[in-house]
Structure 1
């Protein structure tokens, strides 16, 4: 049986690693909190507001 390593959030490290490749607001928020910045600062393209004409 394989043991999964979990961090302080209770999530597997691979789960949080997925946040680096795809949009997952909960994971982005957790990583940003630990880093002391906002998710928008780390992933601006994911939070860019659409422009309307």
Structure 2
């Protein structure tokens, strides 16, 4: 969540992998994407467009 707080722009799963120092392998990006989608379903994040995630603005 700090990666989203530090960024003014929406992030993709690939961007988050880079922020977390994970290798850019499909298994890592797909795992992160799955977690991001789960956070969207719980209302913690929003998906602005397919694959582009951001914190909801108050």
Q: Is TM > 0.5 for Structure 1 vs Structure 2?
A: no
TM-score normalized with structure 1 length: 0.31
Structure number with higher relative contact order (C-alpha < 8 Å, ≥ 6 residues apart)? 2
TM-score (normalizing by structure 2): 0.29
Which entry has the higher C-alpha Rg, 1 or 2?
1
